[in-house]
Amino acid sequence: MFSDPLFLLVLAGMFTTLAVLILGLLSFAKSGDFHKRNANRIMRWRVGLQFATVVIFMLWVYLKRGF
């Protein structure tokens, strides 16, 4: 499983999405100038990364299971 490059890409996408989500949540919690400038941009990045990760995951499942 860990030798499959597509699976490693899925894992990288998951952890990147998680990192951006945590950054956004910390930004919301702290508020301030950084939050005002970047909150919407951070959450858009999260949605885009999440979408890409789901697409890659579905491709991995399709190729592994043959749906």
pLDDT tens digits for 15-56? 999 999 999 999 988 888 888 898 899 999 999 999 999 999
pLDDT at 67 over 70: no
Q: What is the pLDDT of residue 44?
A: 95
Rounded distance, CA 52 to CA 64, Å? Answer: 18
pTM of the predicted structure, to 2 decimals? 0.83
Question: Residue 33: what are its φ and ψ, rounded to 5°?
Answer: -65, -40
Q: Is the dihedral of CA 18, 19, 22, 23 positive or negative?
A: negative
Q: How many CA atoms lie within 13 A of 15 on its CB side?
A: 5
